[in-house]
Amino acid sequence: MIQERLNEILRPDSAGMHAKIFRGVHHSMVAAGIAVMLADTVEPWRAAHGQLFEYAFHLISVFFVAEFLLRLIGDPGSPGTEHRPDWRARLAWGVSTSVILDLLGALPGVLNIVFETRDAILFGLVWVFKLVRYAPGLVGLRRAIGNARQALPSVLLGLAVVLLASSSLEYLFERDLQPDAFGSIPAALWWGIVTMTNAGYGDSVPQTVPGRMLAGVVMVCGIVVLALIAGILATAFAQEMRRYAFLRTWNIAAKVPFFQTIGASVIAEVARLLRPRDYPPAPSSSVAASPATACISSLRARSRSRSAPRP
């Protein structure tokens, strides 16, 4: 019972009051840790408040070590682990990718104590990655990149071909006039990268007419390639977000007793008409509206709006 309750509090999608309080404290600790790390790199601030920064850093480190231990204890209470021994559930959690962020978040304070160096505060940068668990959009972005793994390599290959060819030609055009910037193809590659990404640092500028014409073509090619990459990722990300919204709505609708008897295909058709909404809990004197009831209300409202006569 304790493990289930602990897992419920630590889950990022939990709607309980204790879970919200924990998320608030967790996010505040992350923000405070990043602020301490940044402030410690300012020499006047370090000279004036260095001891305070160190105390705050240790306090934040203790919190993340405690969080790691609590997740280790509460993982056997997660859904789907009821029929497995506790040690197997903890072992499966220990070899998962999510544990890496928790383990890295617990390391900065340990490194500071073991090595007794102030530079260990810089390892607090890993704390910002602990927010990834609470950002479904970032998880969706990772999945979107994975879904686009067939289209992206082709575009990146075209980028590499254009980059190598343009740098080689620019080397032929500019090597006599600018041996420092274009004395070799590897040196010209820096110009090619800066030009294709439209960064325009200006440290390597073609002087010959053919070189400048080639630079214009490379700039246009860079815009086209970057637009293709952005389009592929944007499409994949939008599809992933629609999939996430559909699954969330489907899970809510599946909790309605009526839908449990009509099959998954009908639930899927109904879920496309619904939009999930979060409502505060009703007073204890009245009947609290469940997510399933909210879904039914939303479906009825959409049906009335469709059937209403138009002027």
Contact predicate 237/144, CB 8 Å: yes
260-286 pLDDT tens trace = 677 667 777 777 777 766 666 665 544
* 93 pLDDT higher than 90: no
CATH assignment of the domain containing 221: 1.10.287.70
State the residue range of the domain holding 272. 244-307
The H-or-E segment that residue 240 falls in is: helix 209-254
The whole-number average pLDDT for the span 51-75 is 83
> Buried b vs exposed e over 214-237: b needs ≥16 C-beta within 10 Å?
bbeebeebbeebeebbeebbeebb
The last residue of one of the domains, among 99, 134, 169, is 134
Q: Which residues does 84 contact at the CB level (< 8 Å), separation at least 6?
A: 76, 92
107-158 pLDDT tens trace = 776 776 666 656 666 677 778 877 877 776 676 777 777 777 778 888 888 8
The residue with greater pLDDT, 83 or 190, is 190
Number of domains into which the chain is organized: 3
* 56 pLDDT higher than 90: no
d(CA 155, CA 149): 10
d(CA 210, CA 117): 55
pLDDT of residue 214: 92
Q: Are residues 181 and 159 in the same domain?
A: yes
Q: Are residues 252 and 235 in the same domain?
A: no
Verdict on whether the full-model pTM lies above 0.85 = no
pLDDT of residue 219: 92
